Every structure is written in structure tokens, then in C-alpha cells.
Amino acid sequence: MKDVKIGDYWGKGRSRRRILDRHQLSNGWWLIKTKNSKSRRDFKVKVVFSLKPPRSMTPKHAHFLIDFYGKLCADPCKALSVLQAIVEMWHHPTNIKAILDRYKACTSELPGYPLEYILYALRWILEQEDINFQTRPPKKQKELDEICSRRNIETPTNRKGSQLAIALLCDVANGTHPVEALLKANLDITPKGK
């Protein structure tokens, strides 16, 4: 495989899935959206690091949360610029290029994931969360609203599913340790057995 093409398949065995969409990052990585099975519109996001040999992983909320925490430890002011860029992308997912142009210079010295990867990967991850969202208890919804409001962040219309991921980032920005934030959000952080 010299290229990643829409309609081709990625993976082996039971994890082999048809590619629905793709985006190549400036560092050569590919983000791909593959068919998934939770609902008719469901998909899975993968980042492909290498085509030969094939190397990829499924990015998760926890990856971005830990990355954000590392950025906060390195430079809180610049890390909050990353959070602002993420929130802008959440509100305007089609304007990633403009958002990158605005924030790339002030975030480029931070350790961890590059801003380009964060924004493009989270765009699809957040979209996937919204597609599969059903409902959440009113008490939990109020808690998420309060966490976001402490950072003056409003939830866009029809983005309640992805609000959990944004609230996790806000919670860490508000001073909560990432493990505590994940546990409080009731997300499973235990490794899966092989």
C-alpha cells in the first residue's frame, strides 16, 4: 500500500475495516475514519504512522488528556492556548486550517503531540462521540456544564456527546489530576487484556 485510499481496507483479521475518509498530516501520518458497528453512522478513528510496515493505533480521550497534562506541566499559558484551539475547533470543525494558523506558533515548542494532529484527530473523535450519544443523567450533565463554565466554554448545539471529552480537558485545566478526572467521568482507564 503506497497510499491510503477511501474504499480500501485497513487492519488485519476481525479488525479489518473499510476506509470511509482520510486526512494526511504534514508529518506524513494519516488519520483515517473506518466503518464501525455501534450504529449505522458509527466509525472508528485511527492514526497510521507507517504504511510499510503497517503501524497504527486508535487514539483515545485518555491519550489527549495525558498529552494536555504534559503540556500544562511544561508551560501552562501555552497549554491553555492548545485548549482554546481545541474549543474553537469543537465550535467550528471545518475551520481547522485557520485555527492552526492562529495557534501553531504559540504552541509549537510544547512537548507531546503536534497541534495539527490534536485538532484533526479530535475533530473526528468528537464527531463520533456525538453520533453515538444517547443521553446522560441530569446530575452528570449539570456537572459537565459546571466544569466547562469555569473556563467560560459553552457547548454548541447538538454536541452533548462530545462535551464529556471537552469537560475532561477543562477539568484538568481547572487543576484536577488526569487520572482523577477520568475516574470522575467514569471512563475505563484500565488496560485491556490481550
Radius of gyration of the chain (CA): 17
Q: Are 70 and 60 in contact (CB under 8 A)?
A: no
Q: What is the mean pLDDT of the chain?
A: 92
- Paired residues of 69 in beta bridges: none
Banded pLDDT at 189 (limits 50, 70, 90): low
Lowest mean pLDDT among 40-44, 46-50, 120-124: 40-44
**pLDDT-derived band at 166, boundaries 50, 70, 90:** very high
CA angle 166, 167, 173 (to 5 degrees): 95
Percent with pLDDT over 70 in the chain: 95
95 φ, ψ to 5°?
-105, 30
CA distance 78 to 100: 14
State the Cα–Cα distance between residues 128 and 114, nearest whole angstrom: 21
pLDDT of residue 179: 93
pLDDT of the residue at 194:
45
Side chain identity, residue 172? V
Side-chain-facing half-sphere of 187: CA atoms under 13 Å? 16
- Report phi then psi at 180, rounded to 5: -60, -40
Predicted confidence at residue 17, as pLDDT, reads 92
The 10s digit of each residue's pLDDT in 104-137 is: 999 999 999 999 999 999 999 999 999 989 999 9
Confidence of residue 168 (pLDDT cuts 50, 70, 90): very high
Name the range with the highest mean pLDDT among 59-63, 67-71, 178-182: 67-71
Residue 164 confidence (pLDDT) above 50? yes
Q: Above 80 in pLDDT, residue 193?
A: no
Contact 169/88 with Cβ under 8 angstroms? no
> Rounded to an integer, what distance in angstroms lies between the CA atom of residue 175 and that of residue 171?
7
Structure-model confidence comparison of residues 12 and 25, the more confident one: 25
pLDDT of res. 1: 44
For residue 76, what are the contacts with CB-CB under 8 A and spacing of at least 6? none
